[in-house]
Structure 1
Amino acid sequence: MTTTPFSVGTFADGDAPPFPGIVVDGRVHDTRAVLPAAASTAALLTDWDAALTALQSFADAPAGAGIPVGDVRVLAPVQPPGQLFAAGANYREHVIQITVAHRIGAAGASEAELRQQAERELDERAAHGEPFVWTGVSTSISGPYDDVILPDVGEDFDWELELGVVIGKVTRNVSAEEALDSVAGYTICNDISTRSLIGRPDVPMMGADWLRAKNQPTFFPTGPYLVPARFVPDPLNLDITLRLNGETMQKGSTGDMIFTPAALISYLSCHVILHPGDMIITGSPAGNGSHYGRFLQPGDVMDCEITGLGTQRNHCRTTEH
Structure 2
Amino acid sequence: MKLLRFGPRGAEKPGLLDTTGTIRDLSALVDDITPALMTADDWTRLRAAAADAGSLPAVAAADAARLGPPVAGVGNILCIGLNYRDHAAETGSPEPTEPIVFNKHTSALSGPDDPLPLPRGSLRTDWEAELGIVIGKPCNGARERDALDHVAGFCVGNDVSERTYQFDRGGQWIKGKSCPGFCPLGPWLVTPDEIDDPQDLGVWLEVNGERMQDGSTRDMVFGVAHLISYLSRFFTLMPGDVILTGTPAGTGMGHKRYLKQGDEMRLGIDGLGEQRQKVVENAFAAV
Unaligned runs of 5+ in 2: none
The SS at the match of 1:75 is coil
Deviation for aligned residue 1:23: 1.5
For 1:111, the equivalent position in structure 2 comes to none
Q: 2:214 matched to 1:251?
A: yes
For 1:58, the equivalent position in structure 2 comes to 49
Aligned mates of 2:35, 2:246 — CA distance in 1? 27
Aligned mates of 2:179, 2:118 — CA distance in 1? 9
For 1:198, the equivalent position in structure 2 comes to 166
For 1:234, the equivalent position in structure 2 comes to 197
For 1:79, the equivalent position in structure 2 comes to 72
- Within the candidate set 153, 158, 183, 2:151 is matched to 183
Deviation for aligned residue 1:153: 4.3
CA pair 43-32 structure 1, distance change in 2 beyond 3 A: farther
TM-score in terms of structure 2 length: 0.92
For 2:22, the equivalent position in structure 1 comes to 27
Q: 2:11 matched to 1:17?
A: yes
Deviation for aligned residue 1:69: 5.6
For 1:158, the equivalent position in structure 2 comes to 126
The SS at the match of 1:299 is coil
Deviation for aligned residue 1:314: 0.3
Q: Deviations over 1:85-126 (max 9, x none)?
A: 000010011111211xxxx6xxxxxxxxxxxxx5xxx4xx5x
Larger radius of gyration: 1
For 2:278, the equivalent position in structure 1 comes to 315
Aligned mates of 1:64, 1:20 — CA distance in 2? 12
Q: 2:218 matched to 1:218?
A: no
What amino acid is the match of 2:28? A
Aligned mates of 2:35, 2:101 — CA distance in 1? 26
The SS at the match of 1:56 is helix
Contact persistence 1:45–1:169 (CA under 8 A)? no
Contact persistence 2:115–2:280 (CA under 8 A)? yes
Contact persistence 2:5–2:13 (CA under 8 A)? yes
Which shifted more, 240-249 or 71-80?
Answer: 71-80
Aligned mates of 1:70, 1:295 — CA distance in 2? 33
Q: 2:67 matched to 1:67?
A: no
More helix by share: 1
For 2:34, the equivalent position in structure 1 comes to 42
Contact persistence 1:163–1:186 (CA under 8 A)? yes
Q: Deviations over 1:207-241 (max 9, x none)?
A: xx312111001001110010001101100111011
Aligned mates of 1:15, 1:173 — CA distance in 2? 36
- Count of residues paired in the alignment: 281
Aligned mates of 1:28, 1:86 — CA distance in 2? 30
RMSD, matched Cα: 2.0
Q: 2:243 matched to 1:280?
A: yes
Aligned mates of 1:153, 1:303 — CA distance in 2? 24
What amino acid is the match of 2:217? T
Aligned mates of 1:51, 1:178 — CA distance in 2? 21
Deviation for aligned residue 1:31: 2.2
What amino acid is the match of 1:135? N
Which shifted more, 71-80 or 275-284?
Answer: 71-80
For 1:108, the equivalent position in structure 2 comes to none
CA pair 43-89 structure 1, distance change in 2 beyond 3 A: closer
Q: Percent identity?
A: 36
Deviation for aligned residue 1:162: 0.2
Deviation for aligned residue 1:9: 1.3
What amino acid is the match of 1:249? M
Contact persistence 1:191–1:214 (CA under 8 A)? yes
Deviation for aligned residue 1:154: 3.8
Aligned mates of 1:92, 1:69 — CA distance in 2? 41
